[in-house]
């Protein structure tokens, strides 16, 4: 299976009238005379997450027969909300979202709000994926993959890069959170096709460095034993396609601590006045923790979503 920039360009033409072209705003607190940092605020996107891009692109290419069978996905939250929202605007009646038990209630409520049925399976994402795939196959549903092996999903996610470089052609580095790898693979392929010398840096939480360990161990980790984390959207294994492609497009990988991520969430709320989910703040934490490894003058930080649980952000703001 292959993935290239044509998928991204086609995706953008397909979805651009249904999504927000999210702001690229400069940070005056992170930057200095040598480095300027810009937030790509996917927290302002439809359903407050970049994942609507991939879900919508995929679902707009379904046949009438595939829609009629009913659709289903497996998600820790944001992809599920995106599929639910996309189904509502595309008129797909039978949509189901399978989530693990550790999914924040706020994300479950949002999935239901847009109309999809929610089914809870497994204690974490990897278990939910195993059980969910059995259910989907047994019931002959059309599977809308969160990231594993679908070029249409990757194509949609990569449209973030098109917007960044349209909004500021001087961007020389893009820093991206990594969960399953769909976002960084899509962005990296698109950005380097537009601007070959641009640097792409991926960031993972110390609780789940699945992509980084996959390359370190030369082993594809479709499942990964995650530790407890405030970054629920970044837990679990990596996608096969992203594992095969990211190493050729991503220039550096960084690991950040859970404490740094929590401090970044607080910084974004108190100083920058943005409410951003913890997984998104890995990019901000990377600047705070690894500034010396970020060799760029105009740096875009992808803030991938804003769906943070109310209890979690309250506890973080009280502590930091």
**Number of structural domains, the chain?**
2
8 A C-beta contact, residue 260 and residue 203: no
Same domain, 197 and 254: yes
Band (pLDDT 50/70/90 cuts) for residue 94 is: very high
- Are residues 94 and 79 part of one domain? yes
Measure the CA–CA gap between 162 and 154, rounded to whole angstroms: 13
User: Of 143, 165, 198, which marks where a domain is finished?
Assistant: 143
Percent of the chain at pLDDT > 70 equals 99
Pair (75, 19) in one structural domain: no
Q: What is the mean pLDDT of residues 62-81?
A: 91
> What average pLDDT score do residues 51-58 get?
96
Asked, for residue 123, whether it belongs to a domain, the answer is: yes
CATH number for the domain including 66? 3.40.50.1100
pLDDT confidence tier of residue 132, bands split at 50, 70 and 90: very high
The pTM for the full model equals: 0.93
131 and 212 belong to one structural domain: no
Same domain, 46 and 61: no
> What pLDDT, on the 0 to 100 scale, is given for residue 112?
95
Confidence at residue 231, expressed as pLDDT on a 0 to 100 scale: 95
pLDDT at 222 > cutoff 70:
yes
Stretch 65-75: mean pLDDT:
93
> 103 pLDDT band (50/70/90 cuts)?
confident
Residues 176 and 247 in one domain: yes
Let me know whether 134 and 184 are in one domain: no
Each residue's pLDDT tens digit, 136-151: 999 999 999 876 678 9
The average confidence (pLDDT) of the chain is: 94
- Does the residue 288 lie in any domain? yes
Structural domain range at position 123 = 52-143
236 pLDDT more than 90: no
Helices (H), the chain: 5-15, 51-59, 64-69, 78-90, 105-113, 125-138, 151-167, 182-194, 210-217, 240-249, 258-270, 282-290, 310-319
Q: Is residue 24 domain-shared with residue 134, that is, in the same domain?
A: no
Assess whether 217 and 127 both reside in one domain: no
């Amino acid at each position: 299976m292959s993935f290239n920039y044509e998928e991204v360009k086609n995706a953008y033409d397909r979805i651009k009238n249904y999504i927000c072209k999210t702001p690229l705003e400069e940070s005056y607190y992170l930057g200095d005379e040598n480095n300027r940092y810009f937030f790509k605020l996917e927290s302002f996107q439809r359903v407050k997450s970049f994942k609507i891009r991939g879900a919508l692109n995929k679902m707009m290419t379904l046949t009438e027969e595939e829609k009629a069978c009913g659709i289903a996905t497996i998600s820790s939250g944001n992809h599920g909300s995106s599929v639910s929202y996309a189904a509502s605007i595309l008129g797909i009646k039978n949509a189901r979202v399978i989530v693990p038990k550790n999914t924040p209630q706020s994300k479950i409520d949002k999935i239901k709000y847009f109309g999809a049925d929610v089914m809870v399976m497994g204690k974490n994402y990897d278990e939910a994926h195993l059980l969910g795939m059995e259910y989907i196959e047994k019931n002959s549903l059309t599977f809308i993959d969160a990231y594993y092996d679908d070029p249409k999903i990757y194509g949609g996610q990569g449209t973030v890069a098109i917007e960044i470089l349209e909004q500021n052609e001087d961007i020389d580095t893009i820093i991206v959170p990594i969960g399953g790898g769909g976002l960084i693979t899509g962005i990296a392929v698109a950005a380097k096709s537009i601007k070959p010398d641009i640097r792409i840096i991926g960031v993972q939480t110390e609780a789940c460095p699945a992509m980084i360990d996959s390359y370190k161990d030369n082993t594809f980790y479709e499942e990964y034993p995650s530790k407890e984390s405030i970054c629920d959207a970044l837990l679990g294994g990596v996608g096969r396609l992203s594992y095969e492609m990211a190493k050729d497009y991503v220039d550096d990988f960084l690991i950040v601590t859970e404490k740094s991520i929590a401090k970044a969430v607080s910084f974004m709320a108190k100083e920058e006045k943005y409410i951003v989910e913890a997984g998104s703040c890995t990019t901000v934490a990377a600047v705070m923790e690894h500034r010396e490894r970020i060799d760029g003058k105009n740096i875009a930080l992808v803030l991938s979503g804003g769906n943070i649980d109310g209890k979690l952000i309250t506890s973080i703001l009280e502590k930091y």
